[in-house]
Amino acid sequence: MARINFQDMVGVVTGGASGIGEGLAQAMRVRGMDVVIADLDAARGQSAADAIGAHFHMVDVADAGSVATLADFTMRRFGRVDMVCNNAGVGPASSIADMTLDDWRWMLDVNLWGVIHGIHAFLPLLRQAKRGFFLNTASLSGLAALPGRAGYATAKFGVVALTEVLAAEMALEGANITATVLCPGPTRTGIAFGSRHRKLDGQATGLRDFDLTGGGGVLAAHEVRFLEPREVAELCFSAMERGDLYVQTHPELASRVVARHREIEKSFEAALPARLPREMSLGEN
């Protein structure tokens, strides 16, 4: 595996005040990078930045203008940007039947549009420099969805697809810009309390925060170990050095994805005999 010298590169991390984002920021600083921690939580974001000698900038990833301002801040401060981690996200759960349209909009605004805004604001800068890294945080739920996670999974499936297309387009362009998508399993983060920043103003909601660390279901069946954010960050850096498209954290949960892909394969297999008689009869005429 080729080693990359990240010394003096500039990295931006949305959702960097806690969880995986904070772990990524710490991993950047250990490698000698200059870091901009961007988050909606100004107090926690500034504290996280002060702790590692990074810079803080308040951002609302659901607002395209706010993310554009983040890009401007980074360029004014450092004159360059090398790595963009579109990591901010929220994770409340709800059945589809209980979700309001506002619930859908909020989940997609943060978890999908937040990544779109990050790419839209920073891609021109990386293309101009002709090098760089995108790391977009999706989820294992972006590869195999579970009941009660429709809003979250819909957004995360979108992040996976978006990153796949971005990686393919950069390769076709011959740009020295890589795109990697992180699909983490259970990690010790604050995503269980993501609704604290949402302003409902009395509106109804079917979404409820929940704490994965309570176990149960798939997690209990596999005796899954919750990873620390820095562990996930190190996996991400290893993947980016290899030029990998995907970062996985929990091989013990791969069966969910394998089973889904097998069902897709079976649907193609089922289509073939269904088509043959008609094609043969058309050929005979």
Walk along the chain (285 residues) and give the pLDDT tens digit of each residue.
568 999 999 999 999 999 999 999 999 999 999 999 999 999 999 999 999 999 999 999 999 999 999 999 999 999 999 999 999 999 999 999 999 999 999 999 999 999 999 999 999 999 999 999 999 999 999 999 999 999 999 999 999 999 999 999 999 999 999 999 999 999 998 765 666 676 776 777 878 886 665 544 445 445 688 999 999 999 999 999 999 999 999 999 999 999 999 999 999 999 987 776 665 555 554
* One-letter amino acid of 21: G
pLDDT of 209 reads: 81
The CA distance from 90 to 92, in Å, is 6
DSSP, residue by residue, 65-87: HHHHHHHHHHHHHHS---EEEE-
The CA distance from 90 to 233, in Å, is 19
Q: What is the set of active-site residues?
A: 152
pLDDT of 281 reads: 56
pLDDT of 190 reads: 72
Distances (CA, A) of 265 to 9, 57, 153, 217, 279: 42, 45, 21, 26, 21
pLDDT of 2 reads: 64
Strands (E), the chain: 10-14, 34-39, 55-58, 83-86, 132-137, 177-183, 246-248
Helix, strand or coil, per DSSP, at residue 284: helix
Global pTM reads 0.90
pLDDT of 218 reads: 46
Backbone angles phi, psi at 148, to 5 degrees: 85, 0
SS (H, E, C) 132-176: EEEEEECCHHHCCCCCCEHHHHHHHHHHHHHHHHHHHHHHHHCCC
CB atoms under 10 Å from CB of 79, counted, come to 8
pLDDT of 192 reads: 58
pLDDT of 220 reads: 47
The CA distance from 108 to 18, in Å, is 21
pLDDT of 195 reads: 66
The CA distance from 88 to 84, in Å, is 12
pLDDT of 52 reads: 98
Q: Are strands 34-39 and 10-14 parallel, antiparallel or unpaired?
A: parallel
**Residue 162: how many CA atoms within 13 Å on its side-chain side?**
25
